[in-house]
Amino acid sequence: MPAPSLCRSPTSGCVSLRRTFVQEERPACDRLSGSTAASGSVRRDVRLDLIRGYALLAVAINHLSGLIGELGLAGPKIPTLTSLGFSSAAEIFFLLSGYMVGLVYMRSPGTSRRLIERAWSIYKVNAVVFVIVVLIAEFGSASFARITFVEYTQRHPFWAIPEYLAFLQHPMFLDVLLTYVALMIVAPLAIRLMRTHPRLFATIAVALYLAVQFDSRLNLPVHYGGTEGKWDLNPFAWQLLFFGGAFAGWRGRYDRLAAWVSLPAVAVCLGAAFIISMAVTVLEHHGHPTGLAPGLTDKQNLGVLRLLHTAVVIGLLTYLLGVARKHLSLGPFKLMALVGRHTLHCFAVSIVGAYALALLWTDLWPTYLGYLLSAGVMLGAVCLTAWHQERRKRLLVARSVEPPPAFTRS
């Protein structure tokens, strides 16, 4: 079934928005899989790259702040979406990653094969990150190993390593990619159902999500330092974000969303919802009861308010990017977009960087200034990784399109 056009009504404002933000690149080196698309071109929306880039940078700061906080940081953490509302950058990451799956994979042949290849690539990266963080923890104290859940691997490597490879245990921060790989593995079946019976697919996805909200025991088992637990990101709940994003990407809904949020009344409502959620979050962080049931904002099972707040954040960021569209060619925005194009390697660096910088923080500069300097180093490392990956990609593309050498007769 061919995907519908991005926008059918020229009066909606979608056409002008697409001309402003969508870039067509040739040859089509698929940044998600490293393969060349059959269509010969990749249409990238700068807004999506910017939002993904911001989410990745926020995740990097959250990783560092969370680990250093566990190690004894005194003082406020650098504010990100986590401290400004009910949702975090992880929700944006899953939603837009799903959107890119629908936009790139579902619009070209060989969808199932390419999805499995992508899942295998992420799995290998996650395995490499696992080895690196375990080695870093060897240089830390016993408390560092305990806080990062590496202690179990250190004590029982012959049990812990196979369990990690089987998704049964993981150190701190490695849960995101494991959940992503799990969703990518089932994606071929989900996408086949999405294409042939979209209403049935939507019913199953929503039913699974609601089942988790009513019974949180619907989850998969995992070890935390050898203690039985459940997945931090319940795949039965988070699948709604990922596959909902895939459906939106397949149908090309983002331009319509951008046109809708550009309406003044919608933008005011989104801003008000964001401010209210931020106020409630601040009150709760300072110990003032707000009457909200904890399950509504639960991250593990993707509470309803957390899901709705993610939609508010995406809509608000889209509106702000539309307002600032004349300035998106500035260096900081271009660098953030680069990060959004290379999320896998940048995310891996953010995990390794969090372990290494937190360890150095405890040994060399266990102060608030040291925390701020570490955050700067983290952001620099992520941006440098994105720049390196983009440069490497361009070199590969240039080599692939070079004409063959001419042969002359001697």
Q: How many CB atoms lie within 10 A of CB 55?
A: 29
Predicted confidence band at 22 (pLDDT cuts at 50, 70, 90)? low
- Does residue 404 form part of some domain? no
Q: Which two tokens stand for residue 271?
A: 């801003």
Where does the pLDDT of residue 14 fall: very low under 50, low under 70, confident under 90, or very high at 90 and above? low
Q: Does residue 301 carry a pLDDT above 60?
A: yes
Task: Determine contact, residues 33/121, Cβ cutoff 8 Å.
Answer: yes
173 is a domain residue: yes
Which segments of 22-156 does DSSP mark as H helices, in order? 46-70, 89-100, 111-137, 142-147, 151-155
Q: Residue 315 and residue 50: Cα distance in Å, rounded? A: 13
Read off the DSSP letter of residue 3: P
Res 165 pLDDT > 70: yes
- The DSSP H or E segment spanning 176 is helix 175-196
Query: pLDDT of 44-80, one tens digit each?
Result: 788 999 999 999 999 999 999 999 999 999 888 998 8
DSSP assignment, residue 32?
T
In the chain, what percentage of residues exceed pLDDT 90? 66
Burial-class residue 214 by CB neighbours within 10 Å (0-12, 13-18, 19+): exposed
Closest CA to 101 of 88, 117, 87: 117
3-state secondary structure of 229: strand
pLDDT single digits (tens) 330-380: 999 999 999 999 999 999 999 999 999 999 999 998 999 999 999 999 999
For residue 301, give its domain range.
Answer: 21-396
Q: How far apart are CA 239 and CA 231, in angstroms?
A: 13
What pLDDT does 401 receive?
66
pLDDT in tens, 316-336: 999 999 999 899 889 999 999
Tens digits of per-residue pLDDT, 373-398?
A: 999 999 999 999 999 999 998 888 87
Assigned domain for 201 exists? yes
What is the model's pTM? 0.86
In the block, residue with structure tokens 């870039």: 23
Instruction: Give pLDDT, residue 395.
Output: 87
Q: Is the dihedral of CA 2, 253, 386, 172 positive or negative?
A: negative
Residue 239 has pLDDT above 90, yes or no: yes
Q: What are the tens digits of pLDDT across the range 223-238?
A: 765 567 899 999 999 9
**Average pLDDT rounded to a whole number, residues 167-173:** 92
**What is the CA angle 232-234-239, rounded to 5?**
135
| pLDDT for residue 18 is more than 70 | no
| Rounded distance between C-alpha atoms, residue 213 and residue 21, angstroms | 37
The total domain count for the chain is 1
CB within 8 Å of 170: residues ≥ 6 apart: 130, 149, 164, 178, 222
Residue 4, pLDDT > 70, answer no
Tell me the three state secondary structure of residue 260.
Answer: helix
Q: What is the DSSP string of 268-311?
A: HHHHHHHHHHHHHHHHHHTT------GGGG-TTTT-HHHHHHHH
Residue whose token pair is 């639960």:
298
Give the tokens for residue 181: 């790989």
Q: What integer pLDDT is reported at residue 294 of this predicted model?
A: 83
In a domain, 7, yes or no: no
Q: What pLDDT was estimated at residue 6?
A: 38
Residues 190 and 243: beta-carbon distance below 8 Å: yes
Six token digits for residue 28: 């089509």
Residue 7 in this model has a pLDDT that exceeds 80: no
The pLDDT value given to residue 235: 96
How many angstroms from the chain centroid is the CA of residue 64?
Answer: 16
Residue 283 inside a domain? The answer is yes
The number of residues making up the chain comes to 410
| CB neighbourhood size of 369 (10 A) | 9
- Taking the chain, what is the end-to-end CA distance rounded to the nearest angstrom? 55
Mean pLDDT of 208-236: 88
4 found inside a domain: no
**Is the distance from CB of 237 to CB of 209 less than 8 angstroms?**
yes
- What pLDDT was estimated at residue 23? 55
Provide the Cα torsion 14, 16, 17, 21; round to 10°.
Answer: 140
In a domain, 265, yes or no: yes
What DSSP character marks residue 86? Answer: S
pLDDT in the model for residue 225: 59
3-state secondary structure of 355: helix
Nearest to 306 by CA among 97, 99, 95: 95
Residue 408 maps to a domain: no
Q: Tell me the C-alpha distance between 101 and 7, whole Å.
A: 19
